[in-house]
């Protein structure tokens, strides 16, 4: 984790009545990518509807409770990912220099979600177009408690999702967050391969976390944050201990800069979790592996303290994919002797 960064994540989804379908602001979205297999999603993925909305706010862990890096559990690919930037200009056809894979990862993985934000939206109107594909955070405080999640922070343009962070005229720092809806339904998996290609501006007082979080909103089920860090800073890896989540059983700071385009991948199997940047292994563990159903969250908001009123900038997401184990398959996470390079 970047020095001085204190971020608590897993904020609440919008409250929904138990068993009710998530509220939508619009439909008619054009699905992007390969056809999605509902059988694989059902076997490893989402229930049919939202669970009852519950707050996921919690107090920040005290500094004395933060666990040290478990060095034996992490393999670091130093400098492999440094400097892999394509510049800051956004191109509608190929925004980041790496096109979203149109097929699953192979090796027993099967694609169940893919989005590359090819359909533009009006400014702040992301949910109106993509509401069938993402649950959007709105109307409650971010984890630091100083910012507020607003759907209006999200826009799709030029082939990217733009989470635009700034302080409103009324003095409220804005935050943005989304949860991919596998096969249009809320819920997670018990194993998966999650990839996101993203970069951010350097924005004082704001951070980002891409994480796996318990469908039951139970922190003790585990929490996996990758990447995580201050916007424009270094991409960190944090795996909170199952059963004792105030502790971080795996913690690592990679060589990747969040200011540059990179593809971040979490591979989660029953026997191993591995973490890759641009296909290079930066961490792996055979311990501390969650067993509960978890879902992917992408969120950006204020971190420690109140951001400067003049601070403004964006988290840009080029594409997101989710793969799950194919029926009857037993895919393996990347190991140090086969790191995909």
106: burial class by Cβ within 10 Å (0-12, 13-18, 19+)?
exposed
Q: What is the pLDDT of residues 123-132, one digit of tens each?
A: 999 999 999 9
| Cis, peptide link before residue 227, omega less than 30° from 0 | yes
CB 240 within 8 A of CB 222: yes
Among the listed ranges 62-76, 157-171, 229-243, 305-319, which one has the minimum average pLDDT value?
62-76
pLDDT at 63: 33
pLDDT at 32: 29
Residues 6+ apart with CB under 8 A from 324: 40, 41, 43, 44, 45, 109, 110, 112, 189, 191, 192, 193
Q: What is the pLDDT of residues 78-137, one digit of tens each?
A: 434 444 433 334 555 679 999 999 887 679 999 999 999 999 999 999 999 999 999 999
Task: Report the distance separating Cα 136 and Cα 273, nearest Å.
Answer: 27
Beta strands in 65-133, from DSSP E residues, in sequence order: 109-115
Kindly state the tokens that stand for 215.
Answer: 């469908």
Count of C-beta atoms within a 10 Å radius of residue 289: 19
CB 201 within 8 A of CB 40: no
Q: What is the pLDDT of residues 187-204, one digit of tens each?
A: 999 999 999 999 999 999
Sign (positive or negative) of CA dihedral 112, 118, 119, 125: positive
Domain formed by 38-53+66-325, architecture: Sandwich (2.60)
Q: What is the pLDDT of residues 217-226, one digit of tens each?
A: 999 999 999 9
Residues paired with 18 in a beta bridge: none
| Interior angle at CA 209, CA 294 and CA 45, nearest 5 | 20
Domain ranges, ordered by start, for the chain:
38-53+66-325
pLDDT at 19: 31
Residues 6+ apart with CB under 8 A from 294: 188, 189, 190, 212, 213, 214, 215, 221, 222, 224, 268
Q: What pTM, to 2 d.p., does this model score?
A: 0.78
Give the residue-averaged pLDDT of 170-197: 97
Kindly state the tokens that stand for 14.
Answer: 């919008």
Count of C-beta atoms within a 10 Å radius of residue 6: 15
């Amino acid at each position: 984790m970047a020095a001085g960064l204190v971020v608590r994540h897993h904020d609440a989804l919008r409250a929904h009545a138990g068993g009710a379908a998530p509220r939508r602001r619009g439909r008619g979205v054009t699905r992007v990518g390969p056809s999605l297999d509902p059988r694989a999603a059902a076997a490893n993925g989402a229930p049919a509807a939202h669970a009852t909305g519950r707050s996921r706010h919690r107090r920040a862990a005290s500094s004395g409770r933060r666990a040290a890096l478990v060095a034996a559990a992490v393999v670091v690919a130093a400098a492999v990912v440094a400097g892999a930037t394509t510049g800051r200009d956004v191109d509608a056809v190929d925004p980041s220099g790496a096109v979203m894979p149109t097929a699953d990862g192979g090796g027993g993985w099967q694609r169940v979600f893919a989005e590359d934000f090819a359909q533009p939206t009006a400014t702040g109107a992301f949910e109106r177009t993509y509401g069938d594909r993402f649950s959007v955070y709105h109307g409650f405080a971010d984890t630091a408690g100083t910012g507020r999640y607003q759907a209006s922070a999200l826009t799709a343009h030029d082939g990217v999702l733009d989470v635009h962070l700034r302080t409103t005229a009324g003095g409220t720092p804005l935050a943005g967050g989304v949860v991919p809806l596998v096969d249009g339904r809320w819920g997670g998996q018990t194993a998966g391969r999650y990839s996101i290609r993203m970069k951010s501006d350097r924005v004082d007082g704001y951070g980002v976390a891409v994480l796996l979080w318990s469908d039951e909103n139970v922190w003790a089920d585990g929490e996996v944050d990758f990447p995580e860090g201050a916007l424009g800073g270094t991409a960190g890896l944090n795996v909170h201990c199952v059963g004792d989540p105030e502790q971080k059983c795996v913690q690592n700071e990679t060589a990747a800069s969040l200011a540059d385009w990179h593809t971040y991948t979490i591979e989660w199997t029953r026997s191993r979790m591995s973490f890759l940047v641009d296909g290079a292994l930066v961490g792996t563990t055979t311990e501390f592996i969650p067993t509960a159903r978890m879902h992917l969250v992408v969120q950006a908001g204020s971190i420690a303290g109140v951001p400067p009123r003049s601070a403004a900038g964006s988290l840009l997401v080029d594409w997101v994919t989710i793969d799950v184990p194919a029926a009857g398959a037993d895919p393996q996470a990347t190991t140090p002797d086969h790191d995909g390079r």
